[in-house]
């Protein structure tokens, strides 16, 4: 199963609240382009195939009114085309200590010496979990 993202352009007489009620289970975003008097939603959902993703997107789109445009892509391709960057899973110093099987102080010491990569966000360090050594690597 893959994740897909669909963009739907449409003309409608239903209210934005009614549109949001339809798309909320799809992590949807609704926009209205005032110059063109055009409505649009972007939704994301899992599907077994591109064919199934198109069927799901079409079924949702038809609830809005007259569909004027429909684009369905894998979410990875959609993100690439939109220029979105993947944000890695991040952990705190305490979580890193648990993962690595060492103390919190030992993690901070490794951050300070550069053997553990971390970024300071405000007063806290965040560490990409994929960069952490496992207990046997520590």
Residues 73 and 109 in one domain: no
Same domain, 70 and 100: no
> DSSP 3-state assignment of 59?
helix
Q: Is residue 138 part of a domain?
A: no
pLDDT, one tens digit per residue, over 49-98 is 999 999 999 999 999 999 999 999 999 999 999 998 878 889 999 999 99
Q: Which two tokens stand for residue 9?
A: 């352009």
Domain co-membership, 34 together with 101: no
Residues 15 and 72 in one domain: yes
- Identify the band that residue 135 occupies on the pLDDT scale cut at 50, 70 and 90: low
Q: Which parts of the chain are beta strand (E)?
A: 2-11, 29-33, 38-47, 66-74, 90-91, 119-121, 124-128
Q: Are 38 and 32 in contact (CB under 8 A)?
A: yes
- Count up the domains in the chain and report the number: 2
Q: Do 68 and 118 reside in the same domain of the chain? A: no
Residue 20 has pLDDT above 60, yes or no: yes
Domain span at residue 109? 90-131
Q: What is the b/e burial string over 49-70, where b = at least 16 CB atoms within 10 angstroms of the residue's CB?
A: eeeebeebbeebbeebeebeee
Q: Are residues 14 and 68 in the same domain?
A: yes
**In whole angstroms, what is the distance from residue 45 CA to residue 58 CA?**
13
**pLDDT tens-digit readout, 93-127:** 999 999 999 999 999 999 999 999 999 999 999 99
CATH code for the domain of 78: 3.30.70.1150
């Amino acid at each position: 199963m893959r994740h897909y993202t669909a963009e739907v352009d449409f003309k409608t007489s239903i209210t934005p609240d009614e549109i949001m009620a339809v798309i909320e289970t799809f992590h949807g975003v609704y926009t209205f382009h005032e110059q063109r008097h055009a409505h649009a939603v972007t939704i994301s959902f899992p599907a077994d195939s591109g064919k199934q993703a198109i069927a799901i997107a079409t079924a949702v789109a038809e609830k809005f009114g007259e569909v004027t445009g429909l684009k369905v892509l894998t979410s990875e391709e959609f993100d690439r085309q939109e220029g979105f960057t993947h944000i890695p899973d991040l952990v705190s110093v305490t979580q890193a200590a648990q993962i690595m099987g060492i103390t919190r102080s030992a993690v901070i010491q490794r951050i300070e010496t550069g053997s553990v990569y971390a970024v300071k966000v405000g007063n806290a360090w965040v560490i990409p979990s994929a960069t952490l050594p496992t207990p046997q690597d520590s």
